[in-house]
Amino acid sequence: MTNSTTRRALLRGTVATAALAAAGTATQGGAAHAGAAAAGAAHAGGADGEQRDGGAGPEIGILLYDGYSLLDPTGPAEVLSRLPGAHVTMIAERRGPVRTDTGDVAVLAERSIAEIDRLDVLLVPGGGNRGTIAAMRNKELLSWIRRIDRHSRWTTSVCTGTLVLAAAGLLKGRQATTYWASADYLRSEFGVTYLPQRYVRSGKIITAAGVSAGLDMALYLASQIAGETTAKAIQLAVEYDPQPPFDAGNAAEADPQLKELALRLLAESQV
Amino acid sequence: MTNSTTRRALLRGTVATAALAAAGTATQGGAAHAGAAAAGAAHAGGADGEQRDGGAGPEIGILLYDGYSLLDPTGPAEVLSRLPGAHVTMIAERRGPVRTDTGDVAVLAERSIAEIDRLDVLLVPGGGNRGTIAAMRNKELLSWIRRIDRHSRWTTSVCTGTLVLAAAGLLKGRQATTYWASADYLRSEFGVTYLPQRYVRSGKIITAAGVSAGLDMALYLASQIAGETTAKAIQLAVEYDPQPPFDAGNAAEADPQLKELALRLLAESQV
């Protein structure tokens, strides 16, 4: 088989012609690009040049820190990277691999915080106890978050990333959500009004519940940046038609034994 | 605040005592470990030693190749890494950073395929056209997949990773699922019976639909490896109670215009 026949065939489905046309005329995708202009053209200060189409879309920066939970940054990155013209940049205190809470996986931070002074979207993921606490105490990181937030269009968090935003002082007097087991802490330590929702918007700040809730939040954010049609197309692009085999993900309905086991599995899996 | 008080408080919720007890007695988690023994103790041949608790749990290997889609490997990795005693290893032809289809993000491959000759679970993610086609034509990669499959307990794929399994000859006469836009190709090129489900099990092979379907598949796999209670606890641990803001992720219900836009957004976001 040749490259061209395989490429044609691979995405044939029911929309072969459309897909082919789209692939061949990427820069003419009017509908897909309609939302990008509205997303703002402020770019990451330190990023060295554009990677794809001139950067009409949003600059999305995701902060990694030692001990984050893998899905927190990668779920939203998958969704938001499909926004027209978007760039997603993984950022950390220093460039290089940053390990997850389990220690098993590392995602590369492409930029250090010193290199980035503007973002359209900032996302702060959550992590295990160790990683979250260290991030909450890292004055340089908190200061950078505040600096980026000053000019961002959207400042967002997933899971215990909400606690990091709160530690940076960004959630004063706001409503927010966080990981179910951290809700009391968010309330008592920071006086934040916790709402048990998948995501909570308060002005330009959007917080998401635990880990996988970042996917739902990112789709909402995509709709705010590029419109509902584009967000729906992204949902279809990542085939997000969730059908978990069980119905056990809602802490409000979980019994204490399952909660205990969930927290134990987390604790045991983390380094 | 001190480390210990913060740690206590962070996960207080309604199960503080249980969580604390669990964190302090990680090796005694009888219920959590019950499934691990059944998961088999065959370990990655080249892996240099255990990282956590002696490795009673499954060795899970995820194959990365240039141009994979970020959520395909990371969603299942998040879920499966919470299995008692599990190790998740990112594997590629060569060690080092492996870039996604958008070029924006790189996950580190911790091992090369030459270093791994046994896995309990193999997962092959999908990717963009370029990455999937290159993987389907990479004889070394396909040969390694066949070699691992010979001894694996589970061989799995997400999205167009199913096409890679098919190219390796593992899906002959089987039912499987894949990315919605690749269904025709899977049928016509490999004679595989496509089922439009989130995941399809055929013997020890489990294939998942597009991108986000890896999460649903991983929870099912978790239940097969460690039992339903553990899988439900993992679902709660990652707060997977999906509530996307739209209902647009099912290709069977999507109109042609949305499909066209979805494929165009994918094509434009990929390098």
Q: Which domains, from first to last, does chain B contain?
A: 33-241+251-269 (3.40.50.880)
Cβ contacts of B233 on chain A, cutoff 8 Å = 248, 258, 261-262, 264-265
DSSP state for residue A171 in the 8-state scheme? T
pLDDT tens across B160-216, in order? 999 999 999 999 999 999 999 999 999 999 999 999 999 999 999 999 999 999 999
Name the average pLDDT for chain B. Answer: 86
pLDDT at B52 over 60: no
pLDDT at B136 over 50: yes
Tell me, yes or no, if A7 comes closer than 8 A to chain B by beta carbon: yes
pLDDT at B87 over 70: yes
Distance CA A216, CA A235 (A): 10
pLDDT at B3 over 50: no
Name the band, by pLDDT with cuts 50, 70 and 90, for residue B56: confident
pLDDT at B34 over 70: no
Q: How far is B159 from chain A (nearest CA, A)?
A: 9
Mark yes or no for CB contact B211/A239 under 8 Å: yes
Please pick, among B39, B159, B166, B168, the residue that the annotation labels catalytic. B159
- Which positions of chain A have pLDDT values less than 70? 1-55
Burial class (CB in 10 A: 0-12, 13-18, 19+), B172: exposed
Quick one: closest CA in B to A250, which residue?
A: B241
Tell me, yes or no, if A50 comes closer than 8 A to chain B by beta carbon: no
Smallest Cβ–Cβ distance between B210 and the set A182, A239, A248 belongs to: A239
ipTM of the complex as predicted: 0.85
Q: How many beta-carbon pairs below 8 A join chains A and B?
A: 403
Task: Give me the pLDDT at residue A78, please.
Answer: 98
Lowest mean pLDDT among A124-133, B45-54, B72-81, B258-267: B45-54
Task: Give me the pLDDT at residue B171, please.
Answer: 98
Q: How far is A215 from chain B (nearest CA, A)?
A: 8
Task: Give me the pLDDT at residue B6, please.
Answer: 54
Gyration radius of chain B over CA positions = 19
Which residues 137-156 in chain A show a CB within 8 A of chain B? none
Dump strand ranges (E) for chain A.
Answer: 59-63, 87-92, 96-99, 106-109, 111-112, 121-124, 154-158, 175-176, 193-194, 199-202, 205-208
Inter-residue contact A119 to A147 (CB < 8 Å): no
Residue B111 backbone dihedrals phi, psi, to 5 degrees: -140, 150
pTM given for the model: 0.85
Mark yes or no for CB contact B180/A32 under 8 Å: no
Pairing of the two strands B193-194 and B175-176: parallel
Quick one: closest CA in A to B179, which residue?
A: A239
Name the band, by pLDDT with cuts 50, 70 and 90, for residue B49: very low
Task: Give me the pLDDT at residue A40, please.
Answer: 34
Quick one: closest CA in A to B253, which residue?
A: A236
